[in-house]
Amino acid sequence: MRVSELRDLTKEELKSRLSELKKEIFSLKFQKAIGQLENPMRIKNLKRDIARINTLLREKEIGIEEERKQKIGSRKKA
């Protein structure tokens, strides 16, 4: 999933997406343990998506998102 797509989501949507991804990665790890995992790269991609969501949640928590929007707005004016 792309970061630009994730940035448009609210905190609640990000949290629900995070829980979905954690459930999916748990399922994939279980499949790996019993030897039925078809695509091992899926685990790696899910871990990255989880990290992206955690980063965005933290950014929203400390207000980096508003600073980023202000910088972009000032660039457009110049």
Q: pLDDT tens digits for the chain (78 residues)?
A: 688 888 888 999 999 999 999 999 999 999 999 999 999 999 999 999 999 999 999 998 888 766 767 777 777 665
Length of the chain: 78
Radius of gyration in angstroms for the set of CA atoms belonging to the chain, rounded to a whole number: 16
The CATH number of whichever domain residue 68 belongs to comes to 1.10.287.310
Instruction: Count the domains in the chain.
Output: 1
Range of the structural domain that residue 22 is part of: 3-77
**Rounded Cα gap, residues 45 and 56, in angstroms:** 17
Q: Could you give the 3-state DSSP secondary structure of residue 39?
A: coil
> Is residue 17 classed as helix, strand or coil in its secondary structure?
helix
